[in-house]
């Protein structure tokens, strides 16, 4: 098992996701001889997990069952131990695309006004290039796992976290998830000391309280031929300062967007059938017994209703391009 490669069967040392229900999952470190307690009873790792196929239904000691899933960055995001606020998949998907991290050619266009998102995507045949990404701060590693899966097998992630225990814990997790060969974790202040690399990054991502202080270091870390940068901030005042810093440092195509998820409700609605009157092509005999049209006939139609208000502000994503120098 690795977060960047799929394996068929569960092995000793893997991290598996035990799925108990839609709202209930838990990551489990598989260890020969170990047991995991669930509300459906005990799972014995040696007999119930090791050697079973990922996706199998496993019966627990009380007779209830669970599914055992292969880990993915998306499942990790909803199951990881929180040490900080984290980024979720809606923002992560947009960041991955807008930073052009996917192997192959991805062309993105977004409108320059805040809060509007219009993206045109075209994908050319896939080829794999070495990609180098810098991130600060690492936090709980939610975004990092998605980046690692995207840039594997030839890319590299340089991630900076100034909180020592957080940087140690995330490195431990990268090792357990067998992605540590793709990532360098640095315990330093990105605003004072930068990313520890110069002229190597294709993309830089900032998720820190004062990103504007790290913009000059982001520029220094990026390749001479340019690249993409993104900063995540919950408050609009942070966005304004960051945009100014990008502009001062010569970045172009500066755009801020907010990505909101709208879950549509499926409803059955009844639409009235229009009454166009009698059909003029049909000759009605005076003594005919044709039934007159129903005035209030209607048909049932399935439709979706968007929510009136969309809650769930996470933050603004500000993207910019470093031009070739």
Report the helix count and the strand count for the chain, using DSSP H and E. Answer: 7, 15
Which residue lies nearer to ligand SAM by CB, 143 or 221?
143
CA distance 130 to 226: 15
- Site mask, ligand SAM, residues 172-191, x = CB under 6 A? -----------------xxx
The dihedrals phi and psi of 10, each to the nearest 5 degrees, come to: -75, 130
# residues contacting ligand SAM (CB under 6 A): 22
Cα 313 from Cα 208, distance rounded (Å): 17
To the question of whether residue 250 is assigned a binding role by annotation, the answer is no
Task: Indicate whether 142 belongs to the interface with ligand SAM (CB under 6 A).
Answer: yes
CA distances from 110 to 96, 177, 307 (A): 14, 35, 24
Least distance (Å) between residue 194 CB and ligand SAM: 10
Show contacts with ligand SAM in window 254-293 (CB under 6 A): none
Give CA separation, 209 vs 44, 84, 236, 303, in Å.
Answer: 44, 13, 12, 43
DSSP letter string over 185-203? EE-S-HHHHTTS-SS-BSE
Q: Kind and range of the H or E element at 93?
A: helix 89-98
166: contact with ligand SAM by CB under 6 A: yes
Considering only residues 79 to 98 of the shown chain, the ones binding ligand SAM according to CB under 6 A are 84-87
Which stretch, 45-53, 157-165, 238-246, 247-255, contacts ligand SAM (CB under 6 A)? 157-165
User: Which of residues 44 and 163 has its CB atom nearest to ligand SAM in the complex?
Assistant: 163
Q: Which residues are annotated as a binding site for S-adenosyl-L-methionine?
A: 140-143, 161, 189, 207
Contacts with ligand SAM by CB under 6 A lie at 84-87, 136-137, 139-143, 160-163, 166, 189-191, 207-209
């Amino acid at each position: 098992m690795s977060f960047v490669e799929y394996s068929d069967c569960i092995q000793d040392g893997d991290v598996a996701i035990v799925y108990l229900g839609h709202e209930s999952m838990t990551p489990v470190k598989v260890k020969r001889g170990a047991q995991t307690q669930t509300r459906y009873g005990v799972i014995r790792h040696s007999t119930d997990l090791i050697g079973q196929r990922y996706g199998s239904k496993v019966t627990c000691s009380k007779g209830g069952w669970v599914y055992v899933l292969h880990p993915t960055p998306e499942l990790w995001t909803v199951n990881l131990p929180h040490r900080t606020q984290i980024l979720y998949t809606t923002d992560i998907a947009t960041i991955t695309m807008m930073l052009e991290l996917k192997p192959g050619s991805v062309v993105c266009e977004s409108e320059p006004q805040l809060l509007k998102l219009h993206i045109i995507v075209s994908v050319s045949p896939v080829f794999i290039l070495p990609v180098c990404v810098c991130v600060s701060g690492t936090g709980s590693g939610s975004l990092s796992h998605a980046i690692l899966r995207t840039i594997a097998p030839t890319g590299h992630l340089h991630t900076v976290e100034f909180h020592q225990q957080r940087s140690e814990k995330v490195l431990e997790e990268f090792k357990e998830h067998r992605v540590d060969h793709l990532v360098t974790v640095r315990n330093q202040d990105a605003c004072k000391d930068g990313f520890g690399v110069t002229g190597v990054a294709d993309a830089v991502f900032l998720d820190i309280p004062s990103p504007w202080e790290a913009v000059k270091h982001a520029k220094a870390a990026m390749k001479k031929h340019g690249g993409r940068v993104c900063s995540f901030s919950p408050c609009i005042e942070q966005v304004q300062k960051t945009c100014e810093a990008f502009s001062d440092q010569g970045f172009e195509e500066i755009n801020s967007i907010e990505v909101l998820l709208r879950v549509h409700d499926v409803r059955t609605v009844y639409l009235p059938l229009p009454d166009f009157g009698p059909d003029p092509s049909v000759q009605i005999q005076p003594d005919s017994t044709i039934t007159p049209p129903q005035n209030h006939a209607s048909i049932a139609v399935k439709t979706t209703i968007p929510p009136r208000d969309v809650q769930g502000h996470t933050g603004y994503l500000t993207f910019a391009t470093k031009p070739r120098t």
